[in-house]
Amino acid sequence: MATNQTQDGEMDDVDLVSEVEEDEEQEWGDWNTDDDDGEGDGLGSDLLLCLFCDLKYGSSEALFEHCNSTHRFDFGGIRKTLELDFYGCFKLINYIRSQAAENRCWSCGFTCQSKQDLQNHAHEAFSFKDTVLPWGDDRYLKPFMQEDPLLYSFGEDWEVEDEDTTSDNKITELIDFERICIDDDNTVEGPLFDFNTASENGRAESASAFNSCLNGMNPYQEVKVSSVDVNKSGLPSDMNSTNKDLEVSFAKVEANEIKNVNKNYFGLYSSFGIHREMISDKVRTDAYRQALLNNPSLLRGATVLDVGCGTGILSLFASQAGASSVIAVEASEKMAAVATQIAKDNCLLCSGGPSEGTSQGTGVMKVVQGMVEELGNCELIQPHSIDVLLSEWMGYCLLYESMLSSVLLARDRWLKPGGAILPDTATMFVAGFGKGGTSIPFWETVYGFNMSCIGKELVEDAARVPIVDIIDSGDIVTNTVVLQSFDLVKMTPDEMDFTSRIELEPLTENPTHYSSDSLCKTTWCYGIVLWFETGFTSRFCKDMPIVLSTSPYTPKTHWSQTILTFREPIAISLGSTASDTLAAVGTDACPAVKVHLRISIARAASPHRSIDISLEIAGIAPDGRKRSWPVQIFNLS
């Protein structure tokens, strides 16, 4: 809301009150609903903007009728088919506006060159039945467009099945949260619903304070959200007839979810079975052991912090390597007690430590129970007092579980300037896999019977859900490309969310996938496989650098690999195959010589600790023609 300010830059309260009173006198009946073509200067700012073009309408019924007839978007039909409730429709509208702002088809994910091309691209919506809805993420509860009246009027024309549940009630639920105040040192002041200016097609021109709060903050950061006047912040004034400030706090919902997920997460790690699996992973455990025991110039006499110690195995190695002090931090109360007992039983527990009981040894190891995020005032760990920060934080697809943010927080809070992080690098890789990487071959012949229908159905399911499994290196059909690299010494938590563009080409070193006919060197790529390596590099491990790899070309680990299956396989060729210039790229008649991928990985808003992966695919023909496939969305949780 525009406010008058004095020359000193302070708000003129009298003028502000007058302006608010003047605004409240305006009735909804003042809207100009006659000029539906969206032209001229007489348009009211509260007319409903089409989801796909610049036309405006006076009612949601008229707008959705236009969307159906012109843009082939049947809002009512989709709502009924998918049984969307108010929140589902609310998120769908915000999702479509966000996609249209990028000239991207909301249904198939195809990116057009212009707004007009997007309108020409309009087609019937794909079936989302029994699939993860791309707008299901709670981030779409945040209005994409400033002051979007469609968000509080789209329910005015539909039949309300539950008389006690109206759109007004739902809007009130969205905004009427009580204020949350967790930590006075982390406060976000100001109107969170100031979405700044937006263009006609709904593209946000600048990030708001609200966006910074919800999307930019550390997942564990504690937030205090002050009361917010939302009378002119995208909601109608008649919803605030008492002129009270409405308190907005989506952060409370997030905080409660994080608390519950963390409780379940650390409860899972209280089971000894998962620790046996990790310790039994020889590739994993030996890599850490060698990095610690074979680098005496780094460990001898050092103060070591082990983040997420579990049984304390890495802390035991550090103690054995000659560290002068080892502080093992573990969030699980049960496992912290277990690690303490193990250190005591091996005469490595430091007497006078925080644990109960007496120790016969004069060890160097101390165990601290609690999350890193909750230990800011821990007297045992002084700021910037740690020589070596140690952690085994990696999850499936490297970033699942989002523990890396805890390591980075510990780094910034406790590591000495120039201190070491083990491991200090992480790299993600991607390659394409063939038919053998799917379950199709198994079901093609089962004791002489054809059960291929099962394999086909399983592949269809795999195109919606990521699979964590071992891929045989012989099933890789493309080159291997670096997807993303992380330097744990320098990176920020925001870098955990990224988008990378890569190019895959058919693998020439493995001819077993190709036809014996020299004129036909075509194979099929059924999807991509992701894996990672972490490095204990010579930056800190000068005596013996170590690499921990989860590659399909190296011995298997408990991390396996992460498999993302295409909706349909893509024919790829070594490039010398004659192709039909009229055939679709990626088919047997016109194999692709390159596959372009745009892969985005981000920490999911819900559930906490999971990650979202989006996959955009394009095949390139020998003559340069390009074919794009609908975007695929995966959630690893």
The two most distant CA atoms of the chain are separated, in Å, by 88
| CA distance linking residue 97 with residue 561, whole number of Å | 35
| CA distance linking residue 362 with residue 351, whole number of Å | 6
401, 505, 533, 616: which one is catalytic?
Answer: 401
- Please, what's the b/e burial string for 409-419 (b: 16 or more CB within 10 A of its CB; e: otherwise)? bbbebbbeeeb
Q: Tokens in use for 152?
A: 């509080």
Contacts of 224 (CB under 8 A, 6+ apart): 179, 180, 181, 182, 183, 184, 186, 187, 188
Backbone phi and psi for residue 280, each to the nearest 5 degrees, phi listed first: -75, -15
| CA distance linking residue 372 with residue 336, whole number of Å | 13
| CA distance linking residue 450 with residue 445, whole number of Å | 5
Q: Which long-range contacts (CB under 8 A, 24 or more apart) does 265-269 make?
A: 265/401, 265/609, 266/331, 266/332, 267/332, 269/310, 269/332, 269/335
Do 616 and 564 touch, CB atoms closer than 8 A?
Answer: no
401 is catalytic: yes
| CA distance linking residue 5 with residue 208, whole number of Å | 21
254, 330, 392, 505: which one is catalytic?
Answer: 392
| CA distance linking residue 217 with residue 434, whole number of Å | 40
Across 14-75, where does the E strand assignment appear?
48-49, 56-57
Q: Tokens in use for 27?
A: 């009735």
CA angle 505, 509, 511 (to 5 degrees): 95
- Spatial CA neighbour of 558 closest among 298, 367, 351, 279: 279
- Spatial CA neighbour of 373 closest among 412, 335, 318, 415: 412
Q: Reduce the DSSP state of residue 59 to 3 states and report it.
A: coil
| CA distance linking residue 276 with residue 272, whole number of Å | 6
Query: For the residues of 529-544, what is the DSSP string, one character each?
Result: EEEEEEEE-TTT--S-
| CA distance linking residue 565 with residue 570, whole number of Å | 11
Amino acid at 476: I
Amino acid at 305: L
Q: Tokens in use for 242?
A: 């008492």
- Spatial CA neighbour of 307 closest among 224, 372, 356: 372
- Spatial CA neighbour of 613 closest among 204, 137, 104: 137
- HSE-up (13 A, CA, CB side) for residue 299: 28
Query: For the residues of 372-420, what is the DSSP string, one character each?
Result: GGG-TT-TTS-TT-EEEEEE---BTTBTTT-THHHHHHHHHHHEEEEEE
| CA distance linking residue 135 with residue 133, whole number of Å | 5
The catalytic residue positions are 392, 401
